[in-house]
């Protein structure tokens, strides 16, 4: 049997992973989040919680947890936003790898082990590894699954079109990579445009490094009523700022590509607003998306959905629609028939969980735009670096 010194020596041979948790008034979820990291199958970790000026019991909860597990450390600062809090944690970290985790998300037990294992098999040109995420509600119930992305290697074009990683807790980043591209940008907080700090950093990493993916669900991303993604127009402003920064760094990116990225981000926001029954917000965001990609206005499905969202935003129509749905449900219950009026009925979903009847043409257009962006970005990037005689990043892919 191995003695304690041998075991300690073996553990120290494994790289240290620093889990960074920014927390602002997170008393309801922070303990669950921290405990999910403490219970990881990979034990050589440090857990740095950055209290970003909380006024609730967040700090006292972390102080109590740190007495039970010495791997937990607490840092404090006045409220300066998500990016600043993460940066403070990274500056205090000692690990070779950074695992960002939001204060209300939950990690599956093998998350760090699997992501680190993926990174360990690759060279230092891989700056980031990510995994898939499930979605949970405020009570921790699983309410859905995120996209099963397979993007890896040179992902610049794909990531420009859509944030396939999905959230800020789903990845692990090589710390030396951050030394190269910089930390999270605090300008988003300063411009009251928080929301796209993660995507902004991912894009800077993708400009110079490769990505890898672990094909497994390792993160539970919590959807709450007060979540940042529910502040639709602030998120729109945040994406606009991130795209401006991206264009400044890479002036060779065509304006059309920037517009397409913006258009389909607005549709994503519109769908979130629709799920929250914010119908007029959903309508406005959907309409804005068409301004960035005029082809949407010639798409029948897009126009039908646009009108439906407008009609639902009118109170009398909404009331009539609600009464109709209740009547259908009552009628079906009396006649022992399934409720076919349910907008989330599984019969309306294709094998990928999409509403096939209504979204078929939209997803076809989405796929065309996705392929277009990747091809255009690849072509324009090669042309740009050829004219400057600079060796482009990721040419070894």
State the DSSP H helix or E strand holding residue 321, giving kind and residue range, or none if neither: helix 315-334
Q: Which residues contact 8 (CB under 8 A, 6 or more apart)?
A: none
Mean pLDDT across the stretch 259-265? 95
Which domains does the chain carry?
15-239 (3.90.550.10), 252-312+344-388 (no CATH)
Q: Which residue has the higher pLDDT, 293 or 352?
A: 293
* pLDDT band (50, 70, 90) for residue 394: low
Provide the residue count of the chain: 397
Cα-Cα-Cα-Cα dihedral sign, residues 20, 23, 29, 32: positive
Q: Beta strand 45-52 with 72-77: parallel, antiparallel or unpaired?
A: parallel
Q: What is the tens place of the pLDDT at every residue in 229-248?
A: 668 889 999 999 999 999 99
* pLDDT band (50, 70, 90) for residue 390: low
* pLDDT band (50, 70, 90) for residue 344: very low
pLDDT at 50: 99
Q: Which residues contact 273 (CB under 8 A, 6 or more apart)?
A: 232, 279, 281, 282, 285
Weakest mean pLDDT among 24-28, 105-109, 181-185, 281-285: 281-285
Q: What is the tens place of the pLDDT at every residue in 4-52?
A: 444 343 334 689 999 999 999 999 999 999 999 999 999 999 999 999 9
Which 3 state secondary structure label does DSSP give 213? strand
Weakest mean pLDDT among 12-26, 190-204, 383-397: 383-397
Average pLDDT, the chain: 85
């Amino acid at each position: 049997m191995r003695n304690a010194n041998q075991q300690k020596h073996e553990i120290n041979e494994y790289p240290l992973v620093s889990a960074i948790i920014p927390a602002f008034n997170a008393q309801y979820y922070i303990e669950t989040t921290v405990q999910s990291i403490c219970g990881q199958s990979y034990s050589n970790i440090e857990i740095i919680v950055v209290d970003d000026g909380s006024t609730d019991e967040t700090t006292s909860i972390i102080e109590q947890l740190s007495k039970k597990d010495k791997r937990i450390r607490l840092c404090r600062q006045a409220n300066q936003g998500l990016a600043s809090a993460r940066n403070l944690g990274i500056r205090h970290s000692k690990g070779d790898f950074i695992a960002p985790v939001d204060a209300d998300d939950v990690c599956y037990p093998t998350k760090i082990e699997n992501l680190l294992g993926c990174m360990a098999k690759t060279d230092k040109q891989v700056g980031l590894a990510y995994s898939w995420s499930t979605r949970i509600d405020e009570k921790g119930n699983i309410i859905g699954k995120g996209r099963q992305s397979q993007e890896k290697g040179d992902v610049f074009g794909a990531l420009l079109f859509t944030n396939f990683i999905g959230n800020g807790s789903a990845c692990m980043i090589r710390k030396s990579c951050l030394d190269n591209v910089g930390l999270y940008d605090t300008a988003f907080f300063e411009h009251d445009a928080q929301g796209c700090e993660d995507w902004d950093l991912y894009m800077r990493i993708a400009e110079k490094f490769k990505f890898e993916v672990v094909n497994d669900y390792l993160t539970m991303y919590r959807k709450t009523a007060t979540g940042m993604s529910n502040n639709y127009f602030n998120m729109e402003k945040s994406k606009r700022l991130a795209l401006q920064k991206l264009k400044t760094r890479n002036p060779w990116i065509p304006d059309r590509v920037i517009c397409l990225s913006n258009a389909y981000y607005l549709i994503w926001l519109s769908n979130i607003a629709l799920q929250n029954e914010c119908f007029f917000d959903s309508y406005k965001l959907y309409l804005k998306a068409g301004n960035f990609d005029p082809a949407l206005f010639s798409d029948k499905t897009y126009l039908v959905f646009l009108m439906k969202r407008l009609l639902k935003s009118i109170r009398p129509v909404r009331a009539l629609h609600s009464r109709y749905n209740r009547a259908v449900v009552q009628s079906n219950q009396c006649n022992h028939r399934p409720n076919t009026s349910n907008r989330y009925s599984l019969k309306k979903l294709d094998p990928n969980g999409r509403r096939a009847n209504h979204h078929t043409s939209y997803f076809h257009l989405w796929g065309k735009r996705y392929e277009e962006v990747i091809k255009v970005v690849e072509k324009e990037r090669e042309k740009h670096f050829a004219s400057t005689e600079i060796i482009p990043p990721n040419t070894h892919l």
